[in-house]
Amino acid sequence: MTIPDVAIVGGGLLGRLLAWRAALGGLRVTLYDANDRQGNEATAWVAGGMVTPQAEAVDAEPELVAMGRRSLSLWPVWLSALPTAVHYSDTGTLLVWQRSDAGEGRRFEAMLRARDTQASYERLDAQQLTAKEPALENRFREALYLPGEAHVDNRQLLPALADALDALGVECHWNRRVEDTERPEARLVIDCRGKSAKSRWKELRGVRGELVRLHAPGIDLKHMVRLLHSRYSIYLISRPGGNLVVGATAIESDDCSPVSVRGALELLSAAYAVLPEISEARILELDCDCRPALPDNRPAIRYSPEARLLEVNGLYRHGFLLSPAIVEEVLTVLPQFLHNPGSTLGASPRWPSLGAREGVFACH
C-alpha cells in the first residue's frame, strides 16, 4: 500500500480546509482529530466566523488585510463547492458608537484611512443607518458602513467540510489524538492543532474569548453590527433560525474555562445597549475558548526537514479571515517539501511574512 502524501494532525478550521483542498488537488491525504466530525472542541466551533478585513485593518498589518481580502474572494467559491449548504452572508459591517464615544468612531475612520490604502466605506447619518438596518432605528446618530464584509456559519461549516472529505474518500481518523511522540505515517506531516500545539511551539499563547449565543426570533440583523466602545467593543451577528451571536471578549490568558460572570455581563449589557429588544431573547450558550496566538499575533508556517513536519499556526482572532489565503499558500509550498524533504522554508511566495520569522520564533 502506498503511504499518504500528507497526514494532517488537527482537523479544526485550518486542518479541515487544508485536507479538503489538498485532496481536491490530487494529493493522498489522511486527517487526524482528537474529537469528532462535528468539530465542537475546535476553537472554530466557538468563533463568530467573521471575515472582516477592513474592520480588522485598524489593528492588523496591511499584509494580513490583503490576505483577508483574498480569503473574502475565496470563501463564496469554496463554500459553493461543498456538498452541504453553509450559510454565508456578505452584506457588510455597520460600525456604531454611542454619542459619548464619538472619538472612537473618529479614531477608527482615521486609522482605517491611514492603514488600508484600499479602504472603501460610507459614513451614515441616523436616517441612512435606519434605512440600512431597521432594527437599529434611531439608536445611533452616525455610523460607518464597510461593504462586502462577510460571515460564515462556523457551526455548519465544520461538519460540511467533514462531508466533503468523505465525498473525496479522505481517510479521517476522528476521536484520534496524536501525541507529540507519534508521527502518523505519511511523506509529510502537517500540524494544525491550533492552541494544542503549544507543547511543540513554545511561543504559542492563548487569548481567551467569550461569546454568547441567543435565540432572538424577532431580531433579524441584515448586517454584522460592531459597537465601538472605549471598554466594551462587541459585535452582533444574526444567524439562521432566529439566532444571534454576541462576541467577544479578548483576554490575555490560556484559561479556557467557562465564561465568567463579568464576561457575560459585559457582552450582554453592551448588546442590550445596541438592541434593547434582546431582553426577551433566550440564552442558548455561553461559550469560551482560547485563540491560538504567536507573539506578534500573526500566523506562521515553519518546517522541520528532519521530522518532515510542517506546522501552521497562530491564526489568533483571524482564523476565518485568513485560513483560505493560508491554505492556498501552504498548497503552493507543499510540492517543494514533498519532492525535496531536505529543503528549507524561505519567505512564502505570496505572503512573505507567513514563513517562520527569523529572530521572532525559536527554530527546531
Ligand X SMILES: Cc1cc2nc3c(=O)[nH]c(=O)nc-3n(C[C@H](O)[C@H](O)[C@H](O)COP(=O)(O)OP(=O)(O)OC[C@H]3O[C@@H](n4cnc5c(N)ncnc54)[C@H](O)[C@@H]3O)c2cc1C
What string marks each residue from 73 to 112 as x (binds ligand X by CB under 6 A) or -? ----------------------------------------
> Under the criterion CB under 6 A, does residue 48 sit at the interface with ligand X?
yes
Query: Is residue 225 a contact point for ligand X (CB under 6 A)?
Result: no
Looking at residue 248, the DSSP 8-state letter turns out to be -
**In which residue are the cell numbers 471598554 written?**
231
Among the listed residues 159, 194, 186, 146, the one whose alpha carbon sits nearest the alpha carbon of residue 293 = 194
Determine, following the binding rule CB under 6 A, whether residue 8 of this chain makes contact with ligand X.
no
The only residue of 247, 263, 324, 355 in contact with ligand X, by rule CB under 6 A: 247
The binder of ligand X chosen from 37, 70, 302, 317 (CB under 6 A): 317
Choose, by CB under 6 A, the member of 29, 31, 47, 278 that binds ligand X.
47
Shortest reach from residue 14's CB to ligand X, in Å:
3
104, 197, 216, 271, 276 from 279: Cα distances, Å: 26, 40, 9, 10, 6
Where does this chain touch ligand X (CB under 6 A) — which range of 73-81, 86-94, 162-170, 192-200? 192-200
For 282, phi then psi, to 5°, come to -105, 140
Please give the residues from 321 up to 340 whose contact with ligand X meets the rule CB under 6 A.
Answer: 321
Q: Does residue number 57 form part of the binding site for ligand X (CB under 6 A)?
A: no
- How far apart (Å, rounded) are the C-alpha atoms in residues 116 and 257? 36
φ, ψ dihedrals at 336, nearest 5°: -55, -45
Does residue 46 belong to the site contacting ligand X (CB under 6 A)? yes
**Which of the ranges 11-19, 88-96, 108-116, 121-129 carries the binding residues for ligand X, by CB under 6 A?**
11-19
Q: Which of these segments, 3-11, 161-169, 262-270, 277-285, binds ligand X (CB under 6 A)?
A: 3-11
Is the distance from CB of 21 to CB of 330 less than 8 angstroms? no
57-65, 97-105, 162-170, 314-322 -> range binding ligand X (CB under 6 A): 314-322
Question: In this structure, are residues 226 and 96 in contact, taking their beta carbons and an 8 Å threshold?
Answer: yes
Kindly indicate which of the ranges 38-46, 72-80, 106-114, 272-280 contains the residues binding ligand X, using the contact rule CB under 6 A: 38-46
Q: Which residues contact 265 (CB under 8 A, 6 or more apart)?
A: none
- Judged by CB under 6 A, does residue 319 bind ligand X? yes
Q: Is 42 in the site for ligand X (CB under 6 A)?
A: yes
* In the block, residue with C-alpha cell 507543499: 334
The b/e string for 232-241 (b: 16+ C-beta within 10 A; e otherwise) is ebbbbbbbee
- Cα dihedral 106/112/114/119 (nearest 10): -130
Q: Can you tell me which of 172, 211, 278, 334 binds ligand X, judged by CB under 6 A?
A: 211
Q: In what order do the strands lie in the sheet with 50-51?
A: 50-51, 150-152, 88-89
| 53 near ligand X, judged by CB under 6 A | no
3-state secondary structure of 113: helix
Cβ partners under 8 Å of residue 339, min gap 6: none
Q: How many residues bind ligand X (CB under 6 A)?
A: 41
**Residue 237 or residue 334: which is nearer to ligand X going by CB?**
237
Residues 312/326, Cβ–Cβ less than 8 Å: yes
Where does this chain touch ligand X (CB under 6 A) — which range of 33-41, 97-105, 263-271, 346-354? 33-41
Tell me how far apart the alpha carbons of residues 31 and 189 are, in angstroms, rounded to a whole number: 10
Nearest approach, Cβ of residue 130 and ligand X (Å): 26
221 binds ligand X (CB under 6 A): no
Residue 244 sits at φ, ψ, to 5 deg, of: -135, 130
Q: Examine residue 43 and tell whether it contacts ligand X (CB under 6 A).
A: yes
Among positions 177, 202, 262, 364, the unique one binding ligand X when judged by CB under 6 A: 177
Instruction: Rule CB under 6 A: say whether 292 interacts with ligand X.
Output: yes
Show Cβ contacts of residue 332 under 8 Å, excluding neighbours closer than 6 positions.
348, 349, 350
The binding site for ligand X (CB under 6 A) comprises 9-15, 32-35, 39, 41-44, 46-50, 177-178, 192-194, 196, 209, 211, 247-248, 289, 291-292, 315-321
